[in-house]
Amino acid sequence: MAGPDSGSSLPRKPKTDAPVRLPSREEVLAFIASQTGRVGKREIARHFGLHGADKAELKALLKGILDEGLVTKGRGRLVKRGALPPVLVVDVVSRDADGDLVASPAEWNEAEHGAVPDIVIALPHRPRAGEPVPGVGDRVLVRLADGGGPSDDSRPVGRVMKILDRGRSRVIGVFRAIPGHGGRLLPVDKKNSGRELTIPDEATEGARDGDLVAVDVVKTSRFGPPVARVRERLGNLTSERAISLIALEIHGIPHVFRAETLAEAERAEPVRPGGREDWRRLSLVTIDPADAKDHDDAVHAEPDPAADNPGGFILTVAIADVAAYVRPGTALDREAALRGNSVYFPDRVVPMLPERISNDLCSLRPLEDRPAMACRIVIRADGRRKSHSFHRILMRSAAKLAYAQAQAAIDGRPDDITDPLVDGVLKPLWEAYAALKRARDDREPLDLDLPERKILLKPDGTVDRVVVPERLDAHRLIEEMMILANVCAAETLEKHRVPCMYRIHDAPSMEKLMALKEFLKTLDIALPKAALLRPSHFNQILRRAGATDSVELVNQVVLRSQSQAEYSPENIGHFGLNLRRYAHFTSPIRRYADLIVHRGLIRALGLGSDGLTDGQASALAEIGAEISAAERRAMAAERETIDRLIAAHLVDRIGDIFQARISGMTRSGLFVKLAETGADGFVPAASIGGDYFRYEEGQQALVGSRTGETYRLGDPVTVRLVEAAPVAGALRFELMSDGRAGVASPRRGEHIRRNRRDDGFSDGRRARPGDKPSKPPWKRKGRK
């Protein structure tokens, strides 16, 4: 990464004795747009030869450019608004008039970056054997080329690096039988929600009304719906297994291992001790959730006997040595890279690696020999790191503990397993954690408090209840030890000049900060005024909100204001953790990024022949883009599955009353979050009371024009469930409680008319139990 002392080849103006002229706004914008490395105030000043007082004028110029939205801050650098990264994931959406393929970024925030750009896909005239050639509907990893499109139209050009997902004719949906005429398919994907498919009688494959099925489109026509054939019956929507399959199919998540991958995993044999340090006498223990199936990290702590480190500790973080079994270029490696990470649903795990590897050979089972990568860290009494080293070892876990089990032992309630471990193993761990906590408090990372809800299932796979597990010191202990080992991994790779797959987290964008500022105004909380916001500034906000009823909502809004973390070989630090360098090292069983870091350490320290290859080292930017996209794909699938599960759980509770809080709002209505389950739902604005309500963005409120009745973001409300749609994962409510009293101040043009009700009724009355509305908002033709 180019910097002031990095030997960067950034162009600069030649030195002269003539007075330096401050560059114009246009010149600065042109320079920013021309650079692919780091560009900030320092780099701009160096290029234009600015010194001393000139830099103050440049700072004012840059502030004006930022305020106007002409550039944004991204990845620790200034970028021209709408600028694209050199490597990105795109979706091929169409062909233009010249027949060229046109794509758009797979992820694009129009509010921050402007209109979605068209990217022309450059195709070879004569593709070589094996060269990737995409088509409309494909998801592709591209590298942007210099210059405009092939028709000299200035559009960016993307050269195909890899086809990530082929556009498929397979569609998943709910089968609705038509006696004597086969049936029709209602797609569950929101992109296809308005497009029904016809299924002939001979193509139903025994599907029953209401079944969740996968079909292949066999015929399309300009007139009439497409014709499909049932390929697979996936189950009934009352089963959670079928609901999780919806997410897997919609997001194209690979969930069936290839035969060659499974065969390679079955041929794998336990690693032999030769060439490894023997640490089997060290009493390492694993501490995981009670229902964990794989155990990839073990920990140990003991007082440091060194005279120059009073009160210090020696920590050991041992991580399953997945690199010993998953070699670069093998079938296991190719499929792990394709999956990117494991995906977790309430009743199933879609693993990155086959069970032979993840749950057997690499799982740190108690009293069984296992290969591991160990990080030994010496910390001082204040929790700050004194030194660290990495080792390739053979270990034997002393015990497999659950978080609650380890915490109970420390709290004086040991069981048969933990009783012999309390004094020699657990107490030193907790004492070391006390030191680590002091260092964490001094560093002050972003300290969000968001309860993590967990869905508990019945034996038949349906929802039993939703619980919020208690956050224990046992959780925090493991978290702090893993963070410390991750930092050590990143620093070691930097020291040895081996490419590193960093876990990066940028500072919030200006647009998100402005939105947060407007929200906080409604709570009489000010966003701290600082030239450079740090996590500690957000913690001040959270502490102020802690004394109010809106504490959970403020935590959620602050979270939404943050950038999304991702993987990249270009380090910009981790804003949320307030760390200059950070990498993921501690979960190679379930994250490909961690496996890359393990291979880097093996190469850097000469720990074997199975380290990072030159090919992978040169492709880290592409790998980072792929696994970042896979991570976001997994998060969306997990979130949507939970939404569908809860909607299915509440389908029998239509008409029930719930306590909730307003979590968002638009001109069309309110979003509410239920206190009981954490479920999100929608209240159409036209169904609220007997008034015309308008959206006041500055107040984050819906305000009645006649009465002044007001509903603000964060307000507690009582709602009644009107409809639950399990397939869409959507809930619709109506308000049963009044808003805040206010003063009427009608404004023309933003009234919501009562005869355009979004709850399916047009006579102005409030929906009652037993009423059957027409189509809900998310099913209506033409609604977005």
**Single-letter code of the amino acid located at 358:** S
pLDDT of 140 reads 86
**Residue 698, burial from CB neighbour count under 10 angstroms (0-12, 13-18, 19+):** exposed
User: What pLDDT was estimated at residue 267?
Assistant: 96
**pLDDT of res. 82:** 55
Number of neighbouring beta carbons within 10 Å of residue 746 = 13
pLDDT surpassing 80 at residue 386: yes
pTM recorded for the entire structure = 0.79
Residue-wise pLDDT for 261-315, tens only, equals 999 999 999 998 888 999 999 999 999 999 888 899 999 999 999 999 999 999 9
The conformational region for residue 549 under phi > 0 = left, psi -120 to 50 = alpha, else beta, is alpha
What is the rounded average pLDDT of the residues 361-369?
Answer: 96
135-146 average pLDDT score: 79
- Please name every residue paired with 212 in a beta bridge, in sequence order, or none if there are none: 174, 235
Lowest-pLDDT range of 177-186, 356-365, 522-531, 662-671: 522-531
* The Cα angle at residue 293 between residues 287 and 298, in degrees rounded to 5: 30
Task: Please report which helix (H) or strand (E) contains residue 254, including its range.
Answer: none
Question: DSSP letters of 100-164?
Answer: -EEEEESS--HHHH-SPPPEEEE--SSPPTT-----TT-EEEEEEESS--TTSS---EEEEEEEE
Helices 592-605 and 620-650: angle between axes, nearest 10 degrees = 150
Q: Could you give the 3-state DSSP secondary structure of residue 457?
A: strand
pLDDT in tens, 577-603: 999 999 999 999 999 999 999 999 999
Contact 161, 622 (CB under 8 A): yes
Residue type, 694: R
Distance between CA atoms of residues 590 and 289, nearest Å: 15
Residue in the block written with tokens 């091929």: 92
Residue 509: which pLDDT band, with cuts at 50, 70 and 90?
Answer: confident
* pLDDT of amino acid 94: 73
Res 484: pLDDT = 98
* pLDDT given for residue 37 in this prediction: 54
Residue 780 has pLDDT above 70, yes or no: no
Decide if pLDDT at 781 tops 50.
no
- Alpha carbon distance 114, 83 (integer Å): 10
Inform me whether the pLDDT recorded for 74 exceeds 90: no
Give the torsion through C-alpha atoms of 109, 110, 115, 116, to 10 deg: 30
Buried b vs exposed e over 457-488: b needs ≥16 C-beta within 10 Å? eeeebebeebeeeeebbbbebbebbbbbbbbb
Question: Average pLDDT over the chain, rounded to whole?
Answer: 84
Task: Provide mean pLDDT across the span 490-498.
Answer: 97
Tell me the residue length of the chain.
784
Q: What is the pLDDT of residues 19-40, one digit of tens each?
A: 566 787 777 777 776 665 566 7
Nearest to 667 by CA among 710, 628, 641, 696: 696
* pLDDT > 70 fraction of the chain, expressed in percent and rounded: 83
Lowest mean pLDDT among 315-319, 383-387, 643-647: 643-647
Structure tokens at 509: 């964008």
Q: How many of the other CB atoms lie within 10 Å of CB of 156?
A: 19
Which among 699, 694, 730 is positioned nearest to 715, based on CA atoms? Answer: 699
User: What are 610-666's pLDDT values in tens digits?
Assistant: 999 999 999 999 899 999 999 999 999 999 999 989 998 999 999 999 999 998 888
More confident residue, 746 or 175: 175
Range of lowest pLDDT (144-153, 312-321, 328-337, 477-486):
144-153
Question: Could you tell me the sign of the dihedral formed by the alpha carbons of 673, 679, 684, 690, in that order?
Answer: negative
H or E element, residue 342: none
Euclidean distance between CA atoms 331 and 261, whole angstroms: 5
